[in-house]
């Protein structure tokens, strides 16, 4: 008879999600910076506003998810082990 092993459900926030959101936010921020190399009219201003908003949103999501990943890890906040 096998001894009961404690189940390890890992973390609810996968590392791939952190990498994807951070890379997307960084890529959008680079595009925002590169948009200043172009000269244009109203359409370019609208594009810059959209790129800035999207990059800030993705980088905030990355920060929030990183914090949640840390709290849910066994090494960090240990909340995952208490659930």
Q: What is the per-residue pLDDT for 40? A: 83
- Average pLDDT, consecutive stretches of 10 residues, N- to C-terminus, the chain (83 residues): 59 89 97 92 94 98 93 74 63
Q: What is the pTM of this model?
A: 0.77
**Residue 33 token pair:** 């910076």
- What's the burial of 18, exposed, middle or buried (CB within 10 Å: 0-12/13-18/19+)? middle
């Amino acid at each position: 008879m096998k001894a009961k092993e404690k189940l390890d459900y890992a973390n609810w926030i996968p590392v791939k999600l952190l990498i994807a959101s951070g890379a997307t936010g960084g890529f959008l921020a680079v595009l925002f910076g590169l948009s200043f190399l172009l000269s244009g009219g109203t359409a370019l201003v609208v594009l810059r506003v959209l790129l800035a908003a999207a990059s800030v949103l993705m980088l905030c999501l990355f920060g929030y998810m990183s914090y949640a990943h840390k709290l849910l890890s066994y090494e960090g906040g240990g909340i995952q082990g208490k659930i």
